[in-house]
Chains A and B, each alone.
Chain A
Amino acid sequence: MSEPFLTAEKLSVTLSRRGVLRDVSLALEKQRLVALVGPNGAGKTTLLRALAGLLPSRGTVQVGGEALSSLSLRERAKRFGYLPQGHMVHWPLPAWDIVALGRYPHGATDPGRLSALDASAVMRAMQATGVLEFSGRPATELSGGERSRVALARVLAVEAPVILADEPTASLDPGYQIEVMRNLRTAADNGALAIVVTHDLGLAARFADIVLVMQDGRLAAQGHPADALSETTLADVFRITAYRAGHENQMIIVPWTGLGPEFGPEPRPPCG
């Protein structure tokens, strides 16, 4: 059992007098892919931001044995690769320039003049997500799926020990959803700690080593996918039942029916 690389103790965030994150404590090791799941508004994004130090919080975060609060903005940036939800690019910059911004924390501020070291990191990241062929194309001319992969490459190019990705699979077709999870899986296998927010319990169960379940700003459950996504947790937190199975030694979870009056009566199953 190795030392935890990222720990949080009693992490709390209050936004407009509402406790969005309440006393979250966790300890996560490197080489893990962690899925962060929970209903809308449970505080998943807030937890990611608080871990990266992007918003003021109470409690303590330690990364690699150092207190987050003792690190400068740039030192934090070297430790956390952060992919926000929606990951907009506001100007039609070429894909290469966008990915190269991942080297910004390392002092490479001009994508046109990268050192050999920085350029090879950019190249690796673009190869991993299969976007090297688009290097020269402006982001606005790429499809939604291609843009998402460029954004992921930008985060991978940081080569940070911790990757925080907020719904990186949203708006991607199933093939690319699997690709994105594979990329993060690879990053984790290569030594990183990757925390991924997702609404797709199936992807979480299949790819993650650990699942964190959030509800109302607290951690409702955490552990191996099979334990964290137990029938009780799904009923309590998501108010659903799920179909479970196994395939190629991996766990399958498919949300099946909603529990409670807000979901209405069970529809007639489709014919055929």
Chain B
Amino acid sequence: MVTAKAAAERRTGVIVALVLLVALLTLASLGVGPVRMSPVTVVKALFGGDSEVHRVIVQEIRLPRAILGLAIGAILGLSGAALQGLLRNPLASPSLFGAPQSAAFGAVLVIALGLADVRSYALPVAAIVMAFLSVFVLLVVAGRNAGLLILILAGLAISSLAGAATALAMNLSSNPFVALEIAFWLLGSLEDRSFRHVMLALPFIVAGGAILFSQRNALRALSLGEESAQSLGVDVGALRLIVIVGVALGVGGAVAVTGSIGFIGLIAPHLMRPLVGYDPAKLLVPSALSGAALLLAADVAVRIIPSTSDIKVGVLTSLIGVPFFLYLIVRERRALGGGVA
């Protein structure tokens, strides 16, 4: 197959280019901030050379931030691609389904109830449980072969509920510091993260990513619809549960340390489809890489854009993501109008 071979080569090229881009953006992320450093200085500082000040800035302040940006961007891109594959729907994404919002509520609840401090593992666990519940409830409410409209309406309902519950927790918290702490989850950010945060989130992100990636072939078979996939030997019920668990682990772990960062999961797979094709299995890795590139770029941008106070990266991704979502709606308008996809 000449065309298949050409497509495979093209995909390899895209992946190599993305890896280079992610590496460059990581360097940029390590170099940008109040103290600007050239890539050469960054690399030197990273390996312990150069001045002690540079070493501390790069290794202890900026490296955790860059690692989180990379890992969280990647898991959001991967989750988006996996959910789109599972629902066979290009408008599926964790943030449209209220998963990060619900995860944020889980984290907020733990803090508001005074159950744990910000650096405890109770936080990611609560976030993961709520993320799982939100996606699970969404799929139960929307039904098995839900069209675009139903999914988006159900997602809207769930994210509104999570938002209201978070607001309630803020309302009821007597301590103003707690309210401030909670506000942080509503605006996702990568600022001032330490390796403690990396350790808190990374195991869940890696586990979620591995789980999602392991289902790639089943997701490809699912392109033919649930019945056909089942008849080919895919346990569709198990697949659905595994993907929800993977998304919940990844998104919950991410939200627990950065708050809700939306729309990366929606945008990343869309950017990749024209380049690597529509096969849900072949879309996973490129989507993860482009998600990482997007979040790293956004996190560099918030440090470069001149402003009096810091812009939160979650705000920036939403500002870019929502117009993109509107553009997708225009593109999918016919399917939406029909109510079925």
Contact = CB atoms under 8 A, between A and B. Distances in A.
Interface of A: 49, 52, 54, 72-74, 76-78, 80-84, 87-94, 96-98, 101-102, 104-105, 109-112, 135-136, 138, 154, 158
Interface residues of B, number: 28
B181 interface: no
B4 A90 contact: no
Given A97-B279, A110-B281, A105 B232 contact: yes
- Chain B CB count within 10 A is highest, among A73, A91, A97, A158, for A91
A158 B278 CA distance: 23
Interface of B: 1-4, 7-8, 88-89, 217, 220-225, 227-228, 230-235, 277-281
A89 B222 CA distance: 9
B8 to A, nearest CB: 5
A81 B232 CA distance: 8
B225 A88 contact: yes
A82 B217 contact: no
Given A110-B281, A154-B224, A136 B88 contact: no
B217 A109 contact: yes
A83 B88 CA distance: 19
16 contacts: A76-B233, A77-B233, A84-B227, A84-B231, A87-B225, A87-B228, A89-B223, A90-B89, A94-B3, A98-B224, A104-B217, A109-B221, A110-B281, A112-B4, A112-B7, A136-B3
Nearest to A123: B1
B88 A90 contact: yes
Given A82-B227, A82-B231, A101 B220 contact: yes
Given A77-B232, A89-B225, A136-B3, 5 more contacts: A54-B227, A84-B225, A84-B231, A88-B225, A94-B7
Contacts of B222: 90
B228 A82 contact: yes
Given A92-B278, A97-B279, A105 B233 contact: yes
A73 B227 contact: no
A89 B227 contact: no
A59 B281 CA distance: 38
B3 A135 contact: yes
